[in-house]
Amino acid sequence: MNLPQSSFPRVVIIGGGFAGLAAAKGLENQELQVVLVDKHNYHTFQPLLYQVATGGLEPDSIAFPLRKRFNDVKNFFFRLAEVVQIHPDKKIIETSIGNLDYDELIIATGSTTNFFGNENIQKNTMEMKSVPQALDIRSLVLENFEEALLTDNLEERNALMNFVIVGGGPTGVELAGALAEMKKGILPKDYPDLDIRKMQINLIQSSAEILKGMSSEASEKAEDFLIGLGVNVWKNLRVLNYDNKIVTTNGEDHFRAETVIWAAGVKGEIVSGLNSSCVIEKAERYKVNEFNQVENHDNIYAIGDVACMKSETNPYGHPMMAQPAIQQGKLVAKNIIAKLFGKKTKAFVYNDKGSMATIGRNKAVVDLPKWKFQGVFAWFVWMFVHLFSLIGFRNKAIVFLNWVYNYVRFDRETRLIIRPFKKKNIV
Amino acid sequence: MNLPQSSFPRVVIIGGGFAGLAAAKGLENQELQVVLVDKHNYHTFQPLLYQVATGGLEPDSIAFPLRKRFNDVKNFFFRLAEVVQIHPDKKIIETSIGNLDYDELIIATGSTTNFFGNENIQKNTMEMKSVPQALDIRSLVLENFEEALLTDNLEERNALMNFVIVGGGPTGVELAGALAEMKKGILPKDYPDLDIRKMQINLIQSSAEILKGMSSEASEKAEDFLIGLGVNVWKNLRVLNYDNKIVTTNGEDHFRAETVIWAAGVKGEIVSGLNSSCVIEKAERYKVNEFNQVENHDNIYAIGDVACMKSETNPYGHPMMAQPAIQQGKLVAKNIIAKLFGKKTKAFVYNDKGSMATIGRNKAVVDLPKWKFQGVFAWFVWMFVHLFSLIGFRNKAIVFLNWVYNYVRFDRETRLIIRPFKKKNIV
């Protein structure tokens, strides 16, 4: 893979998400050679993907070039590649651009959409874990509105304007809210010859409440907000199938819809090579000890979404969110350095800073460890935290400018079909 | 096509570029039904495509949703469609979404890349007339650098870092300058393990000077600027072929390069149905009279790049640029309204406001009718004019912010491979 010779041990990090980036940062300018491998040349700020999907932000403002982040770091190397397999016996990873040997390996591959084995759903629904996927949703939503204009068949038109979002977690809730705001402020102006009242946004949640991981105050308020925005919230309803026409459920309701977004589950993005039965946890995550070491492999760490560290407070592992990923990335870097200098390593303790979700303009819910609040102030806190967490001054400035513009003008201006999803031949 | 019934005559405009947009604007709120048809749902600000291709601007900031532009215009309708054929006898256009009849038809389809019939060149080179094409160039440039890192074969590595731009018009010159600035300021930092001195930027022009349409002062200064930035400028050299490996020419020079951008010619984007031998001009443009009426068709107008209006001052038609397009669009709208009210129509007289091109930071050339100047001031004039010409406050603000950032930081931050060009399966 053409890396410079080095007498220092080599740490390979797979994945430039929150976890991988935090680890790489922690290993800067140490007596180590750090190689970051990712299939994209940019870091994706996943919490804002839903705004890309709904035309509120340009994709380039939530992506940050990984090479640039480490421009001045001498011991850092980036390689654009997909990892095919890990060979722990030979201490090698096999990638699309060749083999790479490691002394320490950090797996930070994150998570991918979990379709729970349903091939129809996997084939026919949209997912939203990457920038291209978010752009596909943006294109599809707009293409469906253009198509709705053309048909005289009322059922077909309604199906084109029917949006089903499966999964009432933060992704589903935020996407449903953003679509509802498009329905309110933008689509009636863009499509004056369509009856936008016919547009339906259905959020389907299999359990008894949305935002399950948050407080009941947050769940209830979020539901109120969504209903206020005109979203149909379906609880205790499980989607069984989608054949590209009809969403069938375990209840009496079914939905004829052209756009179905699957936000009902994620699973660890497991790399083959370590998957002996004992290392895979429920939802396919690597079982790790309190030092994030993968079971039976002292020099292989899994961090972030792909890691499942059981503890008394988190019997099913930590939530698959940015915070645990960042904290684990930082600690693993420290522990690797400690190991290098023969010092003592530290066990991971999750510092739960709380969680939040936004539903729309002036509407968010925030759970802090000692304080829960909802509404306008929560919305400003949400914006501030997200703006602050973005990488790079330019991205922060562009997102801020867009938010101010969208707030003042009640607008979401990047409703562009740059790469059509349905008619892929248009250039 | 599901358009509301109207007792007013219907004007159909094909294409939402500079010309079509100016025409649509001129017909706002008249006793006419205006239908704009475009294969994209956005207007592309083509003069800045080269900045998208080189990571200086996000695509969304130079595209503007067409529906939004006419949100409050009652007599305006937009349809996303590709036009298949014009049937002038039946006063109908045939499109990908059905037929549409017209009373007056404005063809503003613009221009497309002219490969002069060379299929190899068409298949193997990159073109840059649309946002997706500019994004493809951005991906390819970055993918080639990633690949250059991996090979030990020196010839192959040099080919991956060899950029050939064919055509010394504004597009070729601006792209060559932008690539040269990437070579200078950005790529050495992003790829410290590559010898960026090996990166070659070759600009090949078939005639004796670059920027042929401009003054000799402008051409000469632009060439100086390019050479100063390290671009190899080849004049009086004609590219004959590119087999995806080697660019062959009519001279002794040939170039082994992985990236060849074809900016050597454009031709009108002719729609079939009117192409009797008499209406097609050299470079395939519709032959129009001084009212932009297509020969033999009183109610069909061609405007902008696709129109060829011969006059004493412009024996080959007007230059294929924004200014004639905008001016013709405005006048055709006025003439159609005049016809409606039985008033006299006016012949087109081109008001040449001059032309300009930018080569890089503080380096531009400007030809005004009575004043020619080059350098820093020209560069500020170029920026001001382009910023001012962009549609929409948000786009202006975002482009301005990017330019200030890029200027202060010597950076171009959107170097993202969001949709890979070579490995299309990465999502």
State the Cα–Cα distance between residues A218 and A224, nearest whole angstrom: 10
Identify whether the C-beta of residue A153 lies closer than 8 Å to the C-beta of residue A193. Answer: no
Q: Mean pLDDT in chain B? A: 95
Q: In this predicted structure, what is the pLDDT of residue B276?
A: 55
Burial annotation A166-201 (CB, 10 A radius, 16+ → b, else e): bbbbbbbbbbbbbbbbbbeebbbebbbebebeebbb
From the number of C-beta atoms within 10 Å of its C-beta (0-12, 13-18, 19+), residue A72 rates as: exposed
- State pLDDT tens for residues B357-396: 999 999 999 999 999 999 999 999 999 999 999 999 999 9
In chain A, residues with a C-beta closer than 8 Å to the C-beta of B414 are 60
Nearest chain A alpha carbon to B426: A39
Bridge partners for A34 per DSSP: A11, A76
Interface test mutation site (partner A, options B6, B398, B401, max chain A beta carbons within 10 A) = B398
Whether residue B150 and residue A82 make contact (CB cut-off 8 A), yes or no, is: no
Please report, for chain B, the start and end positions of each structural domain, with discontinuous segments joined by +: 10-113+267-340, 119-264
Q: What is the pLDDT of residue B280?
A: 63
Residue of A nearest to B37 (CA): A146
The pLDDT of residue A216: 97
| Amino acid occupying residue A18 | F
| CB-CB neighbours of A115 under 10 Å | 17
- Inter-chain residue contact B417 with A77, CB threshold 8 Å: no
A396 closest CA partner among B196, B318, B401 = B401
DSSP summary character for residue A182 = I
> Tokens standing for B277?
């031998």
Q: Which residues pair with B372 in a beta bridge?
A: B367
Measured CA to CA, the distance from residue B61 to residue B149 in angstroms comes to 32
Residue of chain B minimizing CA distance to A188: B71
Amino acid at the residue A167: G
Q: Which amino acid is at A171?
A: T
Alpha helices by DSSP H, A150-275:
154-160, 170-181, 187-190, 216-228
pLDDT in tens, chain A (427 residues): 788 888 999 999 999 999 999 999 999 999 999 999 999 999 999 999 999 999 999 999 999 999 999 999 999 999 999 999 999 999 999 999 999 999 999 999 999 999 999 999 999 999 999 999 999 999 999 999 999 999 999 999 999 999 999 999 999 999 999 999 999 989 999 999 899 999 999 999 999 999 999 999 999 999 999 999 999 999 999 999 999 999 999 999 899 999 999 999 999 999 999 865 455 656 789 999 999 999 889 999 999 999 999 888 888 899 999 999 999 999 999 999 999 999 999 999 999 999 999 999 999 999 999 999 999 999 999 999 999 999 999 999 999 999 999 999 999 999 999 999 998 777 7
Interface ipTM: 0.95
Q: Do A60 and B59 touch (CB under 8 A)?
A: yes
Model confidence over B293-339: pLDDT tens digits?
998 899 999 999 999 998 888 888 999 999 999 999 999 999 999 99
Is B148 a residue whose pLDDT tops 80? yes
Given B39, B79, B416, which is nearest A63 (Cβ)? B416
Nearest to A363 by CA among A180, A134, A189, A204: A180
**H-helix segments, B258-415:** 322-340, 376-389, 393-409
> Of B5 and A74, which is predicted with more confidence?
A74
B29-32 long-range contacts, CB within 8 A, separation 24+: B29/B73, B29/B74, B29/B75, B30/B75, B30/B337, B30/B340, B31/B75, B31/B340, B32/B8, B32/B75, B32/B336, B32/B337, B32/B340
Q: Does domain A119-264 have CATH number 3.30.1540.20?
A: no
**pLDDT at residue A277 in the model:** 46
Query: Could B150 and A98 be called an inter-chain contact, meaning their C-beta atoms sit closer than 8 Å?
Result: yes
- What architecture (CATH level 2) is domain B10-113+267-340? 3-Layer(bba) Sandwich (3.50)
Residue of A63, A398, A413 lying closest to B392 (CB–CB): A413
pLDDT higher than threshold 80 for residue B281: no
For residue B411, which residues of chain A lie inside 8 Å, CB to CB? 394
Q: Counting beta carbons within 10 angstroms of the beta carbon of residue B256, is it exposed (0 to 12), middle (13 to 18) or buried (19 or more)?
A: middle
pLDDT band at B25 (very low <50, low <70, confident <90, very high): very high
Nearest CA of chain A to the CA of B368: how many Å?
34
* Cα distance between residue A226 and residue A183, in whole Å: 13
Q: Which candidate from A60, A146, A151 shows the least CB-CB separation from B80?
A: A146
Report the C-alpha gap between A277 and A274 in whole angstroms: 9
Question: What b/e readout covers A4-26, taking b as 16+ CB neighbours within 10 angstroms?
Answer: eeeeebbbbbbbbbbbbbbbbbb
**Residues sharing a CB contact under 8 Å with residue B121, sequence separation 6 or more, in sequence order:** B115, B239, B241, B242, B262
For residue B98, the chain A residue with the least C-alpha distance is A150
Looking at residue B277, what is its pLDDT? 46
At residue A22, the pLDDT reads 98
Q: Which residues of B touch A3 (CB under 8 A)?
A: 193
Nearest CA in chain A to B418: A132
How near does any CA of chain A get to the CA of B175, in Å? 20
Scanning every residue of chain A, which has its alpha carbon at the shortest distance from the alpha carbon of B72?
A189
Is there a contact between A82 and B402 if contact means CB atoms under 8 Å apart?
no
B60 contacts A60? CB cut-off 8 A: yes
Question: In the sheet where B363-368 sits, what is the strand order?
Answer: B355-360, B363-368, B371-375
- Order of all β-strands in the sheet with B232-234: B232-234, B200-204, B162-166, B259-262
- The answer to whether A404 touches A413, Cβ cutoff 8 Å, is no
Task: Please give the angle made by the CA atoms of A36, A39 and A40, to the nearest 5 degrees.
Answer: 90
